[in-house]
Amino acid sequence: MHELAIIEGVVDTVTERLGDAPVSSVRLEIGALSGVVDDSLRFCFELATEGTSLQGATLEITQIPGRCRCRTCGSEFSPDGQILLCPCGSADAEVLAGQDLTIASVKVA
């Protein structure tokens, strides 16, 4: 359940940057290849924000699609699922986008 750790990291970062200012919403950008499950994040959010300045805030999640470049044929492609398989058949690919977990913005009430 590392999603709980992820949300705790979000709470830490937000409170560190904004102090005690009450937060009404948080927008996260979750890469499709980041290994984090949206539903689990939502499940943990309420629990992990309890008693913090983020309590009661809404959680908005924007999915960032995965994007790869094939090291064999050189073309760019969007992987289907977690296996970075190029349409040319090679799985030797460099990830260009979709691996990050980013706190994009917060709304302060």
Partner 1 sequence: MCATCGCSGKARLRLVTADDTPEVLAAEQLGHDHELSHEHEHRPGHQHRPGHQHEPGHQHSHEHDGGDDRTVILQQKVLAKNDEIAGQNRSWLQGRGVLAVNLMSSPGAGKTTLLERTARELAGQLSISVIEGDQETALDASRISAAGCQVVQINTGVGCHLDASMVAEALRALDPPAGSVVVIENVGNLVCPALFDLGEAARIVLASVPEGADKPVKYPHMFSRADLVLVTKTDLLPYVQFDLARHAADVKQLSPAAQLLQISAVTGDGMREWYDWLRLSLPVT
Exposed, middle or buried: residue 109 (CB in 10 Å: 0-12, 13-18, 19+)?
Answer: exposed
Q: Which residues of 80-108 are buried (b: 16+ CB within 10 A; e: fewer)?
A: eeeebbbeeeeeebeeeebeebeeeebee
From the list 38, 63, 91, 96, which residue makes contact with partner 1 (rule: CB under 8 A)? 91
103 within 8 A of 6, measured Cβ to Cβ: no
How many chain residues interact with partner 1 (CB under 8 A)? 39
Instruction: Determine, following the binding rule CB under 8 A, whether residue 86 of this chain makes contact with partner 1.
Output: no
Q: Could you give the string, one character per residue 14-43, with x where binding to partner 1 holds by CB under 8 A and - elsewhere?
A: x--xx-----xx--x-----xxx-------
Rule CB under 8 A: choose which of 12, 38, 76, 80 binds partner 1: 12
Two tokens, residue 23 = 């937060």
Interface residues with partner 1 (CB under 8 A) are 1-2, 4-14, 17-18, 24-25, 28, 34-36, 44, 48, 82-85, 91-92, 100-109
